[in-house]
Amino acid sequence: MKILVINSGSSSIKYQLLDMDTENILVSGLVERIGEEKAVLTSKINPGNETEKIIKIQTAIADHKSGMKKVVSLLVDKDNGVISNTSEIRGVGHRVVHGGEFFHEPAPLTDKVIKGIEANVPLAPLHNPANLDGIHVARELFPAAQQVAVFDTAFHQSMPPHAFLYAIPYKLYEQDRIRRYGFHGTSHKFVAGECARHLDRPLEQCNLITIHLGNGCSMAAVKEGRSVDTSLGMTPLEGLIMGTRSGDIDPALHAILHRSRGMNIEEIDAMLNRQSGLKGLCGMNDMRDIHAARRNGDKMAQLAFDMFVYRIKKYIGQYFAVLGRVDALVFTAGIGENDSETRRAVLSGLKALHIIIDSRANEKSYVDWMRISDSKSRVEVLVIRTNEELEIARQTLKTLT
Ligand code: AMP
């Protein structure tokens, strides 16, 4: 059975067509710079296989609908297509960033669900409208398929109130739904499930700390398979230090910056989201550049790295206390999957928590996952490549009626 996964952004559409009998990716692609003269559609047929074929088209693409139409014509193309008709696609899974408190599970896209996503636009003003664009277009272009929304916030809806509430007047939660929601839920859910499989234990019996370190970074405390706390908050700004986002700060900084520098709320918001984090500290937000600079003696790059690692360690300590017993730590996403140096720094000095790294295993290359804990470590440490598209496809498949 074929499932199409769509991640629709403000000027881009990422997509994957999967054969769910084998979980193989038939096509993965990206439409970039929608709305510009020189939009680019890149399509990879049989990605990662010996038979991989890449098609790149540069052309003006006015909107999401024309972009998706081009994708469809490539999917059914006589020479390079992988399906003969769009009706071969049984389900379309849409990544939706904010499900608010309405959505704890993937939802078949009825008009009521679309209204629910619209109602959450104030919580994700940049993301949800772009996700809705993709949904409207896909409903039109794949009328035979069932459309399903998979929410980035849903996995964290199992958090208890003492973890998701902020200590501010309660009426702000009651009236405006101000609370922690958390994000990267699809990734945390995927790696938690894979980790349980590799530990050969039901997920419901696993207590895990999942560490997603990409351009955006977050951690989750997973108790008996369910998220009970996470580091991103009402928005994707709280928690760990990220590429350009500050993570945790004293909320009084807003008032201080306003009074001392006359900065307005938009400027402070932009600064914390786009000019802070690793970039704000050392001018670079790609961890590879930061390592190269550290090796050349750049003190600010070293400080930024030390702060990044320190914050993760603090959250590991917190989540240990929250969970009581931890079976495994899981590293994932761009930095977590590829950067042995960050993993080594995060895991150093954690013997008191019964976490001991196998330094040699940590340096090895791997395909989907590897274990990097020493045999003496009571807590297992795994590195697992996240696969949000596959998780969305799996959840879509489960939701089909
Ligand atoms: P993601 O958001 O998961 O795609 O992760 C992107 C980030 O991963 C980049 O900004 C880099 O900082 C980081 N990254 C990717 N590959 C590597 C690598 N080989 N070593 C260190 N960091 C990496």
pLDDT digits (tens, 9 = 90+) for 99-155: 999 999 999 999 999 999 999 998 888 899 999 999 999 999 999 999 999 999 999
What strand order describes the sheet that includes 380-384?
226-230, 217-223, 208-213, 328-332, 380-384, 369-371
Domain covering 203-388: architecture: 2-Layer Sandwich (3.30)
Positions marked active-site: 152
Q: Is the CB of 333 under 6 A from ligand 1?
A: yes
Q: Is the CB of 340 under 6 A from ligand 1?
A: no
Length, in residues, of the chain:
401
Burial of residue 254 (number of CB atoms within 10 Å: 0-12, 13-18, 19+): middle
pLDDT at 285: 95
Q: Is the CB of 336 under 6 A from ligand 1?
A: no
Q: Where are the domains of the chain?
A: 2-151, 203-388
Render 201-250 in DSSP notation, one character per residue. S-GGG--EEEEEESSSEEEEEEETTEEEEES--SSTTSSS--SS---S--
Q: Is the CB of 152 under 6 A from ligand 1?
A: no
Q: State both tokens at 46.
A: 């049989």
Q: Do domains 2-151 and 203-388 have the same CATH topology?
A: yes
Banded pLDDT at 378 (limits 50, 70, 90): very high
Q: What is the pTM of this model?
A: 0.94
pLDDT at 186: 96
Q: Distance, CA 287 to ligand 1 centroid (Å)?
A: 6
pLDDT at 401: 79
Q: What is the pLDDT of residues 148-197, one digit of tens each?
A: 999 999 999 999 999 999 999 999 999 999 999 999 999 999 999 999 99
Q: Distance, CA 334 to ligand 1 centroid (Å)?
A: 4
Domain covering 2-151: architecture: 2-Layer Sandwich (3.30)
pLDDT at 213: 98
Mean pLDDT of the chain: 96
State the amino acid at position 13 in one-letter form.
I
From atom 20 of ligand 1, which residue's Cα is the shortest distance away? 339
Q: Distance, CA 286 to ligand 1 centroid (Å)?
A: 6
Q: What is the pLDDT of residues 48-104, one digit of tens each?
A: 889 999 999 999 999 999 999 999 999 999 888 999 999 999 999 999 999 999 999
Q: What is the DSSP letter of 357?
A: B
